[in-house]
Chains A and B, each alone.
Chain A
């Protein structure tokens, strides 16, 4: 179970720059730390984040082991039309955490 939060405005004017905030609970284990026995703790991170706006990709980020645990990301896009934003976080283990949000553009 991934705990995640997003915040986008429910409504926006056409052409307005909107702020999008995302937060996901994830250890972002670097793969370089060792446990008390001296064994490497395997890498376990979210390596890709994408945001699609009515099936058009508007934001994408490749993440690396230096990204802190529980990544908090703020980014911006232009409100073009009413519709659906889809957010995806892709985990090293293949899991894809997704969530969606609706926006009304006038």
Chain B
């Protein structure tokens, strides 16, 4: 745990090799395709997944086809995918069929601009929109177990594919707003996201190593929470940590930030369900 920066960088390189072996060794286990045919690229140019800042044990837990706790949510999500609900007697599956085919790559494109709503929309909101409009069912509350489960299941179908959001055209003003949010000082500590995650990534904040704050693994299992959590829960946690008043889950400010953050980690693979401290 207590090692210098140089040590950590060296061990990270070693760990990538170890991960490669784990990925190869675990091939063919179980029905869940947690591990892609090729090892994930956790570093793309100067962009580094939070995975590269993890301890060896947590990396192993994330790669474990059995032990990764996020898979419990993915399994629940698979059940919800099939479940018929609402007055229209529809389920996700009745429209979308096999998620492995229809949902492949979906996670990489969100948040995206929605012409009908005339604003930016993230994956959680898209799921709830489908429920309301297509299934005539009640939307799941944000951060409910059900919404986390379904978002995790849908995201898992894009595992290993590079994040590729659109920031041009109608999405551009939202992207700019999200970017401004990232660089805006806030809270009693007067810190912007950029202070920790751009300038000091890789360095220590007391007992923790600061990551780049990449969001390619969400929804993810965070040990601090002992549960699965969404990107917006993480934003809320970060805002509260700098003693700023957080925005509510699903707020436009957070969806805009999500777009900027996704673009900032463009090319990083979808890691859902990731494991983080």
Q: Does B226 contact A (CB under 8 A)?
A: yes
Number of interface residues of A (CB under 8 A): 12
Q: Does B9 contact A (CB under 8 A)?
A: no
How far apart are A68's CB and chain B's nearest CB, in angstroms?
Answer: 6
Question: Are A68's CB and B67's CB within 8 A?
Answer: no
**Can you name the residue of chain B whose Cβ is closest to the Cβ of A6?**
B66
Question: Are B72's CB and A5's CB within 8 A?
Answer: yes
**Can you name the residue of chain A whose Cβ is closest to the Cβ of B145?**
A25
Q: Does A13 contact B (CB under 8 A)?
A: no
Q: Does B172 contact A (CB under 8 A)?
A: no
Q: Give A28 to B227 CA distance when docked, in angstroms.
A: 11
Question: Are A72's CB and B69's CB within 8 A?
Answer: yes
Number of interface residues of B (CB under 8 A): 11
CB neighbours (8 Å) of B69 from chain A are 23, 25, 70, 72
How far apart are B249's CB and chain A's nearest CB, in angstroms?
Answer: 16
Question: Are A25's CB and B72's CB within 8 A?
Answer: yes
Question: Are A69's CB and B66's CB within 8 A?
Answer: no
Question: Are B227's CB and A3's CB within 8 A?
Answer: no
Question: Are B67's CB and A23's CB within 8 A?
Answer: yes
Question: Are B66's CB and A23's CB within 8 A?
Answer: yes
Q: Give A23 to B75 CA distance when docked, in angstroms.
A: 13
A21, A27, A70: the one contacting B66 at CB < 8 Å is A21
Q: Give A7 to B75 CA distance when docked, in angstroms.
A: 15
Q: Does B76 contact A (CB under 8 A)?
A: yes
How far apart are A85's CB and chain B's nearest CB, in angstroms?
Answer: 16
How far apart are B170's CB and chain A's nearest CB, in angstroms?
Answer: 39
**Can you name the residue of chain B whose Cβ is closest to the Cβ of A5?**
B66
How far apart are A20's CB and chain B's nearest CB, in angstroms?
Answer: 11
Question: Are B226's CB and A3's CB within 8 A?
Answer: no
CB neighbours (8 Å) of B30 from chain A are 7
How far apart are B237's CB and chain A's nearest CB, in angstroms?
Answer: 16
Residues of chain A from 55 to 85 with CB closer than 8 A to chain B in the complex: 68-70, 72
Main secondary structure, interface of A, reads: loop
How far apart are A99's CB and chain B's nearest CB, in angstroms?
Answer: 14
CB neighbours (8 Å) of B72 from chain A are 3, 5, 23, 25, 70
Q: Give A3 to B148 CA distance when docked, in angstroms.
A: 14
Q: Give A69 to B75 CA distance when docked, in angstroms.
A: 17
Q: Give A70 to B75 CA distance when docked, in angstroms.
A: 14
How far apart are B62's CB and chain A's nearest CB, in angstroms?
Answer: 13
Q: Give A11 to B71 CA distance when docked, in angstroms.
A: 25
CB neighbours (8 Å) of A27 from chain B are 226-227
Question: Are A7's CB and B227's CB within 8 A?
Answer: no
Question: Are A21's CB and B226's CB within 8 A?
Answer: no
B67, B75, B223: the one contacting A3 at CB < 8 Å is B75
Q: Give A27 to B69 CA distance when docked, in angstroms.
A: 12
**Can you name the residue of chain A whose Cβ is closest to the Cβ of B69?**
A70
Most buried by B among A5, A7, A27, A28: A5
| Given pairs A23-B67, A70-B226, A72-B67, 17 additional interface contacts (CB within 8 A) | A3-B72, A3-B75, A3-B76, A5-B71, A7-B30, A7-B66, A23-B66, A23-B72, A25-B69, A27-B227, A68-B223, A69-B226, A69-B227, A70-B69, A70-B72, A70-B227, A72-B69
B interface, CB within 8 angstroms of A: 30, 66-67, 69, 71-72, 75-76, 223, 226-227
Q: List 26 A-B contacts (CB under 8 A).
A: A3-B72, A3-B75, A3-B76, A5-B66, A5-B71, A7-B30, A7-B66, A21-B66, A21-B67, A23-B66, A23-B67, A23-B69, A23-B72, A25-B69, A25-B72, A27-B226, A27-B227, A28-B226, A68-B223, A68-B226, A70-B69, A70-B72, A70-B226, A70-B227, A72-B67, A72-B69
